[in-house]
Amino acid sequence: NIPENYKVIFLQGGGSGQFSAVPLNLIGLKEGRHADYVVTGAWSAKAAKEAEKYAKVNVVHPKLGSYTCIPDPSTWNLNPNASYVYYCANETVHGVEFDFVPDVKGAVLVCDMSSNFLSRPVEVSKFGVIFAGAQKNVGCAGVTVVIVHEDLLGFALKECPVVLDYKTQASNGSLYNTPPCYSIYIMGLVLEWIKNNGGAAAMDKLSLIKSQMIYDIIDKSNGFYYIKFSIFLTSFQCRSVGGIRASLYNAVTVEDVQKLATFMRSFMQMHRS
């Protein structure tokens, strides 16, 4: 449920466009152009790097040697002068996901939810801005949904491109420029499907069922699925970090996951020495 004092806008440019749009719209909330970033993987790292063009970025924790965990929030060094605190809820490249909403002591909290948007219920009121590219869980590529508290509108820097200005887009019903009509239409169909199938709460239950099926095989493999394989062609690997990623988004059915689980079992039996 989205409170009445939030605006929902539909933009182009994907999540990467929001890496620029967030600082361009929010860094003017306070003097000094300070912004806090929690960097837990490739996507938040890219966001922080982009923000450095417009803001003095403070990574709130010591630099991580590898992206394998969420730093203990008690160790975070939040800047009280920061205009906002930014994090990515689910780092798909490195497999790191927040299982909590950070307590940022009343600061404006910004979250990239591109890969787990509508995979579970979310208390929107805890956030200043939520954004998500549609292509993971709610549609096809081409549209990004932004949920922004109305009190945060109107602070864009003068150099902010008008198509990325949250206030301009909200005031024009996301129609300031020609919107990605087809992508928005597909998103509408997916939203209806989610609603008719129990909403975000039902998606959460299905996600747990699907993920447990895969985790059971990995956990009971006695290390087989923790080693590197040379059998698969490199062209099929994750382009960023290699390896194979099992995507269990909302559109992936339990039956689909059962097929993957069956393959994983047979592959293990065939190649275990």
* CA-closest candidate to residue 120, choices 212, 201, 2: 201
- Confidence check: pLDDT of 267 > 80: yes
* CA-closest candidate to residue 179, choices 134, 136, 144: 144
Question: What's the pLDDT band for 178 if we cut at 50, 70, 90?
Answer: very high
User: Tokens 């019903």 correspond to what residue?
Assistant: 173
- Confidence check: pLDDT of 227 > 70: no
CA distance readout (Å), 14 to 108, 132, 146 = 22, 8, 11
User: What integer pLDDT is reported at residue 231 of this predicted model?
Assistant: 54
Name the average pLDDT for the chain: 93
User: Tokens 């989610």 correspond to what residue?
Assistant: 194
User: For residue 272, what are the contacts with CB-CB under 8 A and spacing of at least 6?
Assistant: 224
User: Would you call 133 helix, strand, or coil by DSSP?
Assistant: strand
User: Would you call 141 helix, strand, or coil by DSSP?
Assistant: coil
CATH 3.40.50.720 fits 6-188, yes or no: no
**Cβ–Cβ contacts within 10 Å for residue 221, how many?**
15
- Confidence check: pLDDT of 102 > 80: yes
Strand partners, 58: 36
Within 153-198, residue ranges assigned H as helices are 166-171, 181-196
pTM for the full predicted model: 0.91
Task: Determine the average pLDDT of the residues in 203-212.
Answer: 96
User: For residue 233, what are the contacts with CB-CB under 8 A and spacing of at least 6?
Assistant: none
Give the strands of the sheet with 85-88, arranged side by side: 6-11, 144-149, 129-133, 109-112, 85-88, 34-37, 56-59
Please report, for the chain, the start and end positions of each structural domain, with discontinuous segments joined by +.
Answer: 6-188, 199-271
Q: Which residues are catalytic?
A: 43, 112, 136
User: What integer pLDDT is reported at residue 271 of this predicted model?
Assistant: 86
Assigned CATH for 199-271: 3.90.1150.10
- Confidence check: pLDDT of 228 > 90: no
Contacts of 211-219 with CB under 8 Å at 24 or more apart are 211/248, 213/254, 213/257, 213/258, 213/261, 214/246, 214/248, 214/257, 214/260, 214/261, 214/264, 217/261, 217/264, 217/265, 217/268
Lowest-confidence region among 22-31, 75-84, 88-97: 88-97
pLDDT in tens, 33-90: 999 999 999 999 999 999 999 999 999 998 888 898 999 999 999 999 999 999 999 9
Question: What's the pLDDT band for 241 if we cut at 50, 70, 90?
Answer: low
Question: What's the full length of the chain, in residues?
Answer: 273
